Amino acid sequence: MLATSGPSPADLQRSLEELAARMLRQMEDLVAARAWQGLVDGFDDAKRGALNKYLTAVKRFGKTGGKYKDRWLREQREALDEAKAPVPVWVMTVDRVLSSFRPGRSRRSTS
């Protein structure tokens, strides 16, 4: 019989998988940090004002919008038109995105 020293292949595989998972988490953290830093670096007074206008419209709408639901939604959409850059879609819930954006072709559309 051969005597083996060191970790078994199963132990090595487990270590490799743990390191790969750790590396993936660190990459996700790095991407998130860089994305947020990019937003912070490009944030000026005009964007801050547009974002405040949007947040005010969202607060007015509340949970259901109440009697003036259509008016508050219109205000949200108008404010979001100005605040598109400082309000990244990936930090909004899907229902908030769907209720806030106007349907239509984006400026980046190729068709």
Q: Please give the average per-residue pLDDT across 15-38, as a whole number.
A: 91
As a whole-number percent, the residues of the chain with pLDDT over 90 amount to: 21
Q: Cα–Cα distance between 29 and 25 in angstroms, integer?
A: 6
Q: What are phi and psi of 21, to 5 degrees?
A: -65, -40
Above 50 in pLDDT, residue 93?
Answer: yes
C-alpha–C-alpha distance, residues 6 and 9, integer Å: 9
Stronger pLDDT, 44 or 62, i.e. the higher one: 44
Which residues have CB under 8 Å from 11's CB, separation 6+? none
Confidence of residue 109 (pLDDT cuts 50, 70, 90): very low
Tell whether the model's pLDDT for residue 111 goes beyond 50: no
Residue 14's pLDDT band, with cuts at 50, 70 and 90, is very high
Answer whether 53's CB lies under 8 Å from 79's CB. Answer: yes
Query: Which pLDDT band holds residue 102 (cuts at 50, 70, 90)?
Result: low
More confident position, 89 or 74: 74
Length of the chain: 111
pLDDT of residue 68: 76
Q: Note the pTM of the prediction, 2 decimals.
A: 0.44
Residue pair 100/77 in contact (Cβ under 8 Å)? The answer is yes
